A and B are shown apart, each in its own frame.
Chain A
Amino acid sequence: MKSRTKFFFGDSLIILISLIFIFFTFKNFWHFETGSVVQVNFQGKIYGNFSLFQDRKISLIGNEGESIIEIKSGRTRFKSAPCRNQYCIQQGWIHFTGQMLICIPNELSIEILGKTKAYDSLNY
């Protein structure tokens, strides 16, 4: 004999509350906002802040050679790097706040700035 599952009012209420809770946790903890400013750190100092909406190429000559940072249509990336592994280039484009690319041989890092910083401090 097949027993039919009874409908309980409270169950649907609990499920609904849980779904709302899950929705809000997703919204609160997984918000990835698009940044508008990129901060370039060069040899332990802030080299400058650049808008992501102005296309430009920044050329920096460090200990290893020349690194080129490219800013294009709200995104940024390392266009060329002097190192052998090219890790920073392989990371591709970034545009969310808190994302960052680091080039350790050339002591260079770029970070998308937002309302809150993703990392407290970085040291080479």
Chain B
Amino acid sequence: MTRSIIKIKTTFLDHQIAQLSAIAIGLSLIESVLPSPMPGVKPGIANIITLYAIYHFNFKTAMWVSILRVFASSLILGQFFSPTFMLSLTGSVFSLLTLYFAIKLPSKFFSPISFSIISSFAHIGGQLLLVRIWLIPHASIYYLIPIYSLAALIFGFINGWLTYRLLKDHNSL
């Protein structure tokens, strides 16, 4: 019996995406063991990698990293196709869509901190929209908007600052 070896041709970009995704998945897993004050308030440290990929490479890489991270971390945590996964995916898609337009802003005035805050707001916005439509179809979740917005600002700022420092150290700003 002849042994058949299936080999997929990979490019340098594929390796970069894989490496960045691996870091992002690791960060997601670390984050999942951290206690959260209330459901939905999470630091979202994996977004540092998404932002880093946008600056260091391009938007397409960042998109791959973000989506792969969502799928892989949910598979590892056993949340695949659960509401948690759906919320995570929605949040990522919304924040990527917003970032796609946000990165067109002049980099002279806007640093990763801005993009991090914008993307975390888009993330929680998308998630709240999904919760409102699908999980809790009741107007009472509007009470949570202020808390989530505040968390988005704080964690968005921290993540953005970390990304800024990271990019500065890697001379890609």
Partners in one complex: yes
A residues adjacent to B (C-beta < 8 A): 3, 5-6, 8-11, 13-15, 18-19, 21-22, 25-26, 29-30
Residues of B with C-beta under 8 A to A21: 149
Chain B: CB-nearest residue to A26: B146
Q: Contacts A3-B169, A8-B114, A10-B114; is A22 near B109 (CB within 8 Å)?
A: no
Q: B55 → chain A, closest Cβ, in Å?
A: 14
Tell me which of B109, B143, B152 contacts A8 (CB under 8 A).
Answer: B109
Chain B: CB-nearest residue to A14: B114
B118→A29 contact, CB < 8 A: no
> In whole angstroms, how far apart are the Cα atoms of A49 and B45 in the complex?
53
Q: By CB atoms of chain B within 10 A, which of A8, A14, A18, A21 has the most? A: A14
> In whole angstroms, how far apart are the Cα atoms of A3 and B117 in the complex?
22
Q: B172 → chain A, closest Cβ, in Å?
A: 13
Chain B: residues with Cβ within 8 Å of the partner, total of 25
Residues of A with C-beta under 8 A to B121: 18
Q: B124 → chain A, closest Cβ, in Å?
A: 12
Q: Contacts A5-B164, A18-B121, A19-B153; is A25 near B111 (CB within 8 Å)?
A: no
B145→A8 contact, CB < 8 A: no
Residues 109-128 of B at the A interface (beta carbon under 8 Å): 109-111, 113-114, 117-118, 121
Instruction: List 25 A-B pairs, Cβ < 8 Å.
Output: A5-B161, A5-B164, A6-B111, A8-B110, A8-B111, A8-B114, A10-B105, A10-B110, A11-B110, A11-B111, A11-B160, A13-B109, A14-B110, A14-B117, A15-B153, A15-B157, A18-B117, A21-B149, A22-B153, A25-B145, A25-B146, A26-B146, A29-B142, A29-B143, A30-B146
